[in-house]
Structure 1
Amino acid sequence: TLQIFSVKVTGLSGGLKFPLDVYGMVAIRDNLDHNRNIIFHRKRDNCQTLTQEDLSLVLTGPVRAVDLLDPVIFEVELKVKSNIESQDRVLSLLAPPLDSPALIPDSCMFKKCYTSKLSTMELTVGHIFYSLEATISVKVIEGSWLEDSHGQFTASTDSIEDEKVVLLGFGDGKVPLDGDNILLSRSVVSAEYEEHLIVSVNTRQSKKAEDEAVEEHAVFTPLNMGRSYGELNVGFCKMQVTVAWSEALLLRSGMTMEVSL
């Protein structure tokens, strides 16, 4: 499967300069159903402001794991908001195939750059072998989340431990809550069968330099279907992390794989 780490807007042209108010859609199409699996979607009245310091789109997907057994399509339709809608400019419009460079059955990370219209899109992804889909949820079970806390929730795997999937980056804003449930921006990631998935939280109670950040991890061993549970304790509250696992691809298909080098 394809692990999507980040999508960045770089290489501006046509006189564009940061900051930019960006809206539109970014999606992935794979061979399972050929439908759009949306990873970013914003309407004109809810733009994301991109700056020179932060070029990454805030992703909200995929909503299911992306199959990489066949080439997938990276589909982008982005515009830059102007004072008048008729003057909005097309920032990126493209739909290239995305092929993995991986030749051996080991998970790896790679980057792709695509230039179109007035920008270059930089896509950082992982090729996850022998993978399962993991759906993550987080719930406060003791204490309460402090409104002035800053930081992020992330997920990573053993094989690509230096690159993390941002599940929720709350920065200067409030953490979105539904009762005791923390509403993650992204909840679906891929993990290797018989390896580990690490869910982490990094938070501090304000942006002051003297405030020490608290980082906690919950480590999960993937299951062939079923659910796993872990805890994150950041002092002012304790959270339960639930991971719902899909059926393992190799077990479902009955495949065995041989690789000749």
Structure 2
Amino acid sequence: MRNIIFNRDRHDCQTLTEEDPCLALTGPSRAVGMNEHVTIEAELKVKGAAKSEDRYFILEAKAVPLNWGGRDVEFSGTRGTILKISLGELHNCVEATIFFRVVGGTWPAGLQGHFAASTAEPPNKEVILIAFGCDDGESIRGDSNMTHLRHVVSVQDSGELIVSVRAWRDGQAVIDQEEVRLKAKLSGRSFGSLNVCSCHVGVLVAWSRIRPMCDDLVPEVSRRLCHS
């Protein structure tokens, strides 16, 4: 039942700075159903010159109860450091699996930025799906599909998914930004597009229901929807 939200080994470690202190999350890969308490584990190490010199930075587990209320989960580490995990609570959700593909034009050289997803309803937190740097070959594969940090987000079944792109050069002011809004569905697909300067990027969203982990905790009408 583990749902990995960050996973990097010492050969692919991430450098954290005061300017960029956030971990680059790769998940969750599916929605986390809160039918009962959920345990969050954090195991982070500081990389040494050799593997034998690696030291634990955070090593802790915490149970998040049903009435947590969307507050941050905090883990205490060495030398007074704190790891905060921000949670958002959504009810009656569907899963949106998002894909990007270059469908026209030329990807601009030397462009930096990201594709992101958020919801029109609270908590309105933006999730980075693709981060692209100065090397355009890092984000676009040979089949024109784009390489994701993560694919899946949760959306209220009566809400909207907002998919956006923001681009800049050399860390300067944003030179291009655009968004597309897609109405949530219980199943099926939605299509949209985003323009990144001279490049036309297609957006495909595959919708699916979230099956409750314990059928007797949801109404009969909801169980029929999940099994249909």
User: Could you say whether these structures have the same fold, taking a TM-score greater than 0.5 normalized by the shorter chain as the test?
Assistant: yes
Residues 79-134 of structure 1, C-alpha deviations (whole Å, 9 max, x = no match): 1011122121100111111235467xxxxx53221214453210112101110011
Q: How does 1:51-90 map to 2 (within 5 A)?
A: 51-90=17-56
Higher strand share: 1
Indicate conservation of the 8 Å contact 2:88/2:123, yes or no: no
Aligned to 1:5: none
Q: How far apart in 1 are the matches of 2:200 and 2:128?
A: 20
Q: Between Structure 1 and Structure 2, how many residues are aligned?
A: 215
Secondary structure at 1:86 match in 2 = helix
Normalising by structure 2, what TM-score? 0.85
Aligned to 2:157: 193
Letter in 1 for 2:139: P
Q: Please list every run of 5 or more consecutive structure 2 residues that lacks an aligned counterpart in the other structure.
A: 213-217, 224-228
Q: How far apart in 2 are the matches of 1:235 and 1:71?
A: 45
Q: How does 1:1-261 map to 2 (within 5 A)?
A: 35-101=1-67, 109-118=70-79, 119-160=81-122, 162-172=124-134, 174=136, 175-178=138-141, 179-204=143-168, 206-207=169-170, 209=172, 212-247=174-209, 254-255=221-222
Indicate conservation of the 8 Å contact 1:197/1:221, yes or no: yes
Secondary structure at 1:254 match in 2 = helix
Q: How far apart in 2 are the matches of 1:253 and 1:214?
A: 48
1:152 Cα deviation after fit? 0.8
Indicate conservation of the 8 Å contact 2:6/2:26, yes or no: yes
Secondary structure at 2:88 match in 1 = strand
> Sequence identity, in percent?
35
Indicate conservation of the 8 Å contact 2:71/2:86, yes or no: yes
**RMSD of aligned residue pairs (Cα, Å):** 2.4
Which range is displaced more, 42-51 or 118-127?
A: 118-127
Higher helix share: 2
Letter in 1 for 2:75: Y
Indicate conservation of the 8 Å contact 2:114/2:128, yes or no: yes
Normalising by structure 1, what TM-score? 0.75
Change over 3 Å in CA distance of 1:155–1:208 after alignment to 2: closer
Q: Please list every run of 5 or more consecutive structure 1 residues that lacks an aligned counterpart in the other structure.
A: 1-34, 104-108, 257-261
Letter in 2 for 1:213: I
